[in-house]
Structure 1
Amino acid sequence: MQPLLNKNVVLGVSGGIAAYKTPDLVRRLKEAGADVRVVLTRGGEAFVTPLSLQAVSANPVSTDLLDPTAEAAMGHIELAKWADIILVAPASANIIARLANGLADDLLTTLVLATTAKVAIAPAMNQQMWAASVVQENTQRLATRGVNILGPASGSQACGDVGEGRMCEPTDLRDQLINLFEQQSHAQHQKLWNNARITITAGPTREAIDPVRYISNHSSGKMGYALAAAAARTGAQVTLISGPVSLEPPAGVTLIAVETAEQMLAATEETAMDVFIGCAAVSDYRPAEVASQKIKKEQQQGAPSLSLIKNPDVLKTIATSKQPPFCIGFAAETNNLREHALAKLDAKKLKLIVANDVSDKTIGFNSEQNAVTVYWQDGKKAFSAQNKTSLAEALNQLFAEHFFNENK
């Protein structure tokens, strides 16, 4: 069986020690049936030779933007049209930054701008570099544009550090490419959302204590934004109601920015929808009174007390309305995951609930990865740890199947 048969893969190799894995990656892709053309950057040439990659791919390796051997010396246009997918592996912090900012200063970056094919990157760098806020921002920017983020993995690194930042192994990258093509094929066959109206809440809410302080939580909004991008790419009309986050809105999505739980509920109730996905981490409580001026510690005798009142439950309010849409919730828990998720599924009258264990710091809040289990009345499906972009694609598929099965 060759699941990548007749698929054209352009492998872009940037500078990084993980480039030593690329001859094996080419071999794995070819075993799966792919035809592979390699684009090697100047940095990549410091770690792996064009000759080795040509030998395993059985195709010439491209290194120059203007190729005198190509038709009209425009090799990047030929490759852009030829590719079914462009995989950048390893994707260094430098190449991620250049791609995120739309640079076209070598063959690989120009090729990515010139193609209509799928694009995927496999980040590979030191764990501290991967954790840097600017790298995360650049990666998220690419994800919101539809670039598939494959990894990175965790483990020991060439520098001696241990942590997240390793390039995924060649067999893992091969399997993830296979999954991307299978999702694309299934979505095209099903036409997936078929213009359904989907409202998604994402991110945290902020509940003011005074003009400079507030109650909130650690939600980054990444999962909700990834879901919005996946739904929009597969034919849905998406409204994204977002609390305060540092993310760019996905292409093709209507964004409504809010701060408080009450604002989020009001915006949600005003939105016409067929499906509601409550992915936001809504603050359960808010201060009973909000100070009009900053509370000064010098004016307090001891620590000030804070009286709290309950916020509206956005998800339950929508799910228990007179004519509710198809409602899907998220349950971020630190213990007894299954029991708490099933209790919320029943109490809030949901169709599906996505449960994840936020006590594990490698997944969930502020992480690039997540692992979840989706529950419904008579079943469940588990999704192992993976980046939130690929998880959103898989969840999007599952949500659509359940929605249309109920509305046949």
Structure 2
Amino acid sequence: MTAPVGTVGQVTTAPPEPTDTPTALPALALGAVAGTGRPGRSRIACPLPDGGLLDVGSLATAQRGPYPDLLTAPDLTRLLDAGAPAWREVVEWLRGWRADPERTAAYRMPAEGLIPVLPFTVADYVDFYACEQHARNATLLFRPDAADPLTPNWRRMPVGYHGRSGTVRVTGTPVVRPSGQRGPEDFGPSAKLDFEAELGFVLGGPVPGPVGIDDAAEHVFGVVLLNDWSARDIQFFESRPLGPHLGKSFGTSISAWVTPLQELAAARVPVPPHDPPSLPHLTPSAGALGLDIELVVHLNGERISTPPAADLYWSPEQMVAHLTSNGADLRAGDLLGSGTVSGRERRQFGSMLELGWNGRDPVALSGGAQRCWLEDGDEIVIGATAPAPGGGRFSLGEVRGRVRGS
């Protein structure tokens, strides 16, 4: 398997801090690859325990697996459209097959020449602002004396903005430095290009809104890693009085593999306490559950941050319930970003904006290099680990992107 496909779902017995090279059993995940044998045609794949890839459609067809018509599609879009009962049946079926290397040998994909493609067609993309520490940092950077860094609405609903689905790209796709208006009479390439380390929640449908909070989990298929690339100088000038637009819409990267939510049962943890309590339509009867996922960010091969997603204030189900509370429908392939994940310590901040404190405190790299913002040629790689069902932790793969000059 070639490097662009990436590593996914490997278990490690390391403590919760992410490891650079997790080893052992890959977790179950689904994605789509193209390459050797079928030029121009992609197919659904699943990682195998030894690091190879399983041709899911061929297996389902030959062995009369569930929903072969969905699994022989070029990506996951039709499966997402089928709904939660179909997802659960497919995942349970794959668990049994991938554990037996002798039975899966005939359905392995070639070891070389495969590249990832976007695992599903992105319908709508909404990026939330669900991390309290990031929300605080973003205010204190510009108003350090603010009595309360959180706006009155932040603790009462998941704040978000509608992004551009057409510029969501799969891991490994280069990111071209955007140009835009940086001031009243200043147009040019962004000088403050940034990353944002996030989780992405992949939804299924279609389903008419509103979606009740206790039903919302039935519409969350799984999790990807997400990098919300941001041109801060363009964003800062345009975001008065409205929210992000061209400073964000030029590119969003996601990982090649989608980890089903049912594979993350061991990672579900209560969200931080809500004060004031959420309104009834955002209050699950059994309590809101977030995800104990530890992200790790590398810049040009050097670890610069380990953001903890367990600190996210709003759960994916609360995001779904809020998104549809006005009657908006869901569609298969809707993508929800968590917003930047940041912890309380600088080494846990999930963006250059915070790590470099808007240019005041450059990030030190080896050889004396420093960064306040991303330069042409820089590569950002975001990985993550989560508790595995049988103990230890597994990897959720990676999302990488290299900056190209405009």
TM-score between both structures, scaled by the size of structure 2: 0.24
Which structure's CA Rg is the greater one?
A: 1
Q: Which has the higher relative contact order, 1 or 2, with Cα contacts under 8 A spaced 6 or more apart?
A: 2
Larger helix percent: 1
Larger strand percent: 2
TM-score between both structures, scaled by the size of structure 1: 0.24
